[in-house]
Structure 1
Amino acid sequence: MSNTLPDAVQSCSVSDPPCAAIELIIQPREHDIGGLVVRRALPTAKRKTVGPWIFFDHMGPARFSAGQGINVRPHPHIGIATVTYLFAGEILHRDSIGSLQPIRPGDINLMVTGSGMVHSERERPEVTAVEHELHGLQLWLVLPEADEEVAPAFHHYPSRDIPAVDIEGVTVRVMMGSAFGVTSPVRVFSETLYVEAHLKAGQSLTLPEAGERAVYVASGALQAGGTALPLHSMAIFSSASDIVVTATEDARIALIGGEPLGRRFIEWNFVSSRRERIEQAKQAWREGQFAKVVGDEDEFIPLP
């Protein structure tokens, strides 16, 4: 989705928690964009990335009346891979290399933008014809410097291909990377971790180890080492071993992490290790030099 929130990098409140294993707790502010509430946990002024993850949006849940819905016009990206994952609803993805793919709950859409890619996110007429819901996450991964200008690509992974395991009664899906003895088929470019878990009240989960880690509470509430992690908070954890989170009420969480890839510049939808590359991309978008979205050629989002 296009990065349209005001003051995005400073759109969260942060606190210094008492638990020694937690470095930071981020509580995103909410922004309403056309009836869809979006909470941005990354980047913030105090924390730009977690491992290779530079952008984390929680959208919804939203319920749209018939005739309404999301309608994100074509917009460009460079230097990242975007990850779209829905809890409810459907989004229709189109892009400039000809991909046409509806994404539904449990699926993962991985769009590798590399040297430059344009996409749109809309809803099929069959969806907007009736009252419907939309709820999910959108994340951006920075690419290693050697892959920042890789040819754009699109990968769709249906829900059935994402491995799930039971960890002492806790249902865990390993969306990207390796954890809990299983490995996801989703393509990665560096050490990357993305895990989803559902915990009933009172259940606990020991976090898998990674260079950097964060847990986002999509629903419910947790605690870690006596520190409360409320609904919609993101806790940045240290590299300590045997960190345990416990649900204080039924909870759905997203764990992200991996090895950091160094400093990145971010402006609008462009990310790069080189500031001049972003300026080049901005000029190219102004001048209409990006390829158009196949089947969605008439509209676009102007450079802010």
Structure 2
Amino acid sequence: MSADAVPLLIEPRLHDLGDGFTVRRVLPFRLRRQVGPFVFFDHMGPAGLPPGRGLDVRPHPHIGLATVTYLYDGAIMHRDSLGSEQVIRPGDVNWMTAGRGIVHSERTPAPERAAGHRVHGIQTWVALPKPDEEVGPGFFHHPAATLPEIERGGVRLRVIAGTAFGLESPVRVHSPTLYVDLQFLHDDEFVLPPEHAERAIYVVEGEVRSDGEPVPPAGMLVAAPGGDVRVAARAGTRLLLCGGAPLDGERFIWWNFVSSSRERIERAKADWLAQRIGRVPGETEFIPLPEN
């Protein structure tokens, strides 16, 4: 029997981003490198930042993927080498397609930095299909009000990207995608159908049981293919559903680069060393290429 034929529980690893700020990293995992097109999954916060302190992710490059930022609390200013400048707030979607190459920074906006604030959210990378790995870069912002929502019993579902439960997000995706914010308004149960070939349930917060078995907070349950998955939870519990169609082949990940070709990653390394990928207007800092 294939390892993918049975459910798999992934527990996160703490990853230090510097300046005392840590995230819980779920994907990639040694037994499961991706779920659908999702090859990277970080849960940041919830964390309180005092006045004068904020996030400062200096300009850095990406290729071969789309980055997706989704917040529950706080605000982040996105700037990129296309000239995009956009604050993302809870419920919004920032979808950045790197394609053949883009550079961006992520920082706490000035008002929140001065006042102090909380930050809580999910950052994911979606690998692009091979025909789209070298598309032109793009940035797309979708306010929370534009994302479709539905309530089923005691559960509210918002489709962040892709399709689910008869709804389709306005976010343009490059392959069949499942990405849903799910919140329990009351103690209840919901059923995740086998609409997508690969599916995972991530517990953002709360108490969850799937098919009778507990799933801990910050745990990701990767479902076996086919068949319904029954999930019961208490009021206030929040989940993310992610997945979609399997990738069209292996992906290599090195630092911020994702590609189906090791040679392409080596070229991206050389391009960043030579500062050929791009610059964020108005910013002079950047994150150097790691030595390893």
Give the TM-score of the pair, scaled to structure 1. Answer: 0.91
2:201 matched to 1:215? yes
Give the conservation status (yes or no) of the 8 Å contact 1:221–1:251. Answer: yes
Q: Number of aligned residue pairs: give it.
A: 285
Instruction: Look up the SS of the partner of 1:285 in the other structure.
Output: helix
- Which one of the candidate residues 153, 163, 166 is aligned to 1:181? 166
Residues 150-171 of structure 1 deviation map (CA, whole Å, 9 limit, x = unaligned): 0000000000000110011211
Where does the alignment leave 5 or more consecutive residues of structure 1 unmatched?
1-15
Identical columns (%): 51
Shift of 1:248: 4.6
> Is residue 218 of structure 2 the alignment partner of residue 224 of structure 1?
no
Amino acid at match of 1:26: I
Name 1:60's counterpart in structure 2: 45
Instruction: Report 1:33-112 matches (<5 A).
Output: 33=17, 34-112=19-97
Give the AA of the match of 1:303: L
Q: Deviations over 1:59-99 (max 9, x none)?
A: 00111111101000000000000000000000000000110
Tell me, yes or no, if the aligned pair for 2:154 and 2:186 is still in contact at 8 Å.
no
| TM-score, normalised by the number of residues in structure 2 | 0.94
Q: Secondary structure at the match of 1:129?
A: helix
- Which of 268, 275, 293 is the equivalent residue of 2:280? 293
State the SS of the aligned residue for 2:173: coil
Corresponding residue of 2:15: 31
Aligned to 2:115, the other structure's residue is in SS state: coil
Deviations 1:30-60 (A, max 9, x none): 2343233300110011110000100000000
Q: 1:284, 1:24 → 2: CA distance?
A: 38
Question: Matched residues in 2 for 1:249 and 1:171: separation?
Answer: 11
1:251 to 237, 252, 256: 237
Residue 167 of structure 1 is matched in structure 2 by 152
For 1:147 and 1:241, the matched residues in 2 are separated by 31
Is the 1:35–1:62 Cα contact (8 Å) retained in structure 2? no
Farther-moved stretch of structure 1 (67-76 vs 119-128)? 119-128
Q: Is the 8 A contact 1:36 1:61 kept in 2?
A: no
Task: State the 4+ residue runs in structure 1 displaced beyond 6 angstroms.
Answer: none
* Residue 150 (1) aligns with residue 135 (2): yes
Unaligned runs of 5+ in 2: none
Q: Distance in 1 between matches of 2:161 and 2:85?
A: 22
Q: Which residue does the alignment assign to 1:282?
A: 269
